[in-house]
Structure formats: structure tokens, C-alpha cells
Amino acid sequence: MKILSVDDDPIILGILGQVFSTMDDHVMVAAASAQDALTLLEQEDDPFDCFFLDIRMPGMDGTALAGLIRKIKKYEAAPILMLTAMSETRYIDGAFAAGATDYVSKPFDLKELRARVNVIHQLVQSRKTTSKQAANNANEQLDFAAQIDLHDIDRVISMDAMKNYLAQLSRTALFGSTVFAVTLRNPASYFDRLSADNVRLLLADVAGVISDTLSYRHALISYAGNGTYVCVTESRGRPDTAAIADRINLNLNRAGIIPDGDTVMPPRVSVGVAVRLAWKSGEQILGSLVTAQTSAEKAAGEHERLNYDLFDMEEIA
């Protein structure tokens, strides 16, 4: 991989350089500030594969730099790993909201750092393969279950980043966090009837409405596949998911999203149960994501069933 590391501390850059030099096929370019990094991004003909950014730097910080990197088309899906000596949730939340894929704490555990680099390398290779397949199958339908990355939407992050965010936070930091999911009603109809590009546009438009609706909760949102978005929010009380569903559907109606003319119905959603993440870790957190997603998909399915039952009753009458 070609890696751009940005940190105002030359000792940190030296450690990173030594770590990468002991691993196969990795080349690191160093920058001592965000401005130096932006200059390198303008000058480099051979693009970088991933980024290691310090959160706290003089001038522009790493979070702001991550946001600017994400606005560059060729880097909208590139892994960004944040380097931080801070454990405060608000700094980490801000970094992920700006586009971070993962983070590692200072001082480094070198074994853990190497493991993270290997994971990122696998992610880079996987995304290159996926990108080639997408280019070759541009006219084919999208995989219904695929966890599609949606870019340039406020506080919407990839599912990989969401899992990393939750996995790295301590149990204490998750004390006030809640996860719930939002599912499109009859989502398969969009995948069956729309082109891949139009499905992506629809998913992005719906994600934007969900993000705007939940802005007061500072939620992080990811598309999890199957027409479902998972949302993690800070909340001391359990969110009223029925009220959230009503607000999202009202805003979808106001947005006037009409996918591909009249071939499918305008999007509407259902919201499942809210699951508290307090004192959970590891597999328990991933289990909570699955529980939230399953609940929302069940709620959407139940809504469709009730609609069909009502339609049958009207036909009989």
C-alpha cells in the first residue's frame, strides 16, 4: 500500500515509518501538517491507498483533514485511520462523522498497530476487487444484501467504520448509546425494478433524510444491506422509535423522492426497537446491531402484510 501519514510529532512519524518498513509492500509518505498533506495530495500522480491522520494538530486538525480527503472523488472510500491520545467520545465521534474508518490510541501497541495495518490492507484489496467488478457489471442489479457505502452525506459512514467505531469504544463510553434500525418498506421492489445507479441514488436520498431527521440526536448512520440503515445515537432515555418513524416518513414525503418516475412507490420506512449498548462489548455489540436490524426488517414486513390484508378485504367487499 501507499500510505500518507500526517502528524506534527516527528517521533510518531518515525515509529510509523519503522513499522511500515518491516511489513511487505508498504510505502509511507510523511507530512508534518494538514496543509503539507493537502499539498502532497495535489502533487501526487500515483494515488494513496490509505491515510493515517493525527486528530490533534496545530492549525487544521485531523478531523477537518479527513473531511476534505473524503470530498476528493478518488478517496471517498479510502481507509482513514485516526491517531489519537484522547479517549473522549466527542473527539472520536467527530472523526468518524468526518469519514474516519478506524482509530488507534497513542502510545501505540506495536502488535495491535501491525494487526490494524493488515486489516486495512485487506480492506484496500477487497475494495479494489469490488470496484473492478462494479465497473464490469455496471448495468447489472445491485446485490440486495450488500452493505453499500454511501458518500458525502452528513454523519453517514460505512458499515466497516461503524463496526470499528463501536468495537474500539470502551464499555463506559457506550453507556449512553443506543442502536436502532430504519428499513425501507418493500425494499426488494426497488432493487428488482431500478437500475444499479438509481438504487444508489435512492439509498443516498433516503440516508440524507434520515440524517437530517436525526440531526438533533447526533446519530451515526450506516447502510447495512437489505434496505436497512443502522443508527447509533447518544441518549440517556430510550428513543421513541414510532415517533422517529413518523418524522422520517413526513420528511420523505416533503422531500418528494420519486424513484425512476412511476415504476415504484415513493419510499417509506419502518423503525425497529431501540437497543441499549450500555456495558456491552465485542460480540455483544455486534449482536445488538443484528437485533436492531432484524427488528426493523420485521416491522417493515409486518406493515406490508397489513397493507396486503387490507387490500384483500377491500377486494372482497
Distance CA 17, CA 212 (A): 41
Query: Which part of the chain is CATH 3.30.70.270?
Result: 140-317
Q: What is d(CA 182, CA 227) in angstroms, rounded to the nearest whole number?
A: 8
CATH number 3.10.180.10 given to 140-317: no
pLDDT below 70 — which residues of the chain? 86-89, 130-140, 169-175, 235-236, 260-263, 308-317
Q: What does the pLDDT read at residue 235?
A: 67
d(Cα 139, Cα 141) in Å, to the nearest integer?
Answer: 7
Where b means 16+ CB within 10 Å and e means fewer, 258-269 reads ebeeeebeebbb
C-alpha 119: how far from chain center: 17
pLDDT value for 34: 97
pLDDT tens digits along 66-125: 999 999 999 999 999 999 886 666 788 889 999 999 988 888 888 989 988 998 998 888
Ranges for all domains in the chain classified under CATH 3.40.50.2300: 1-136
Contact 113, 19 (CB under 8 A): yes
What ranges in the chain are assigned the alpha helix state H?
Answer: 10-21, 34-43, 62-70, 89-98, 110-136, 159-168, 187-193, 196-213, 241-255, 283-316
Which fold does the domain 1-136 belong to in CATH? Rossmann fold (3.40.50)
State the pLDDT at residue 316: 41
DSSP string spanning 15-42?
A: HHHHHHHTSTT-EEEEESSHHHHHHHHH
What's at 303, amino acid-wise?
A: H
C-beta neighbour count of 278 within 10 angstroms:
11
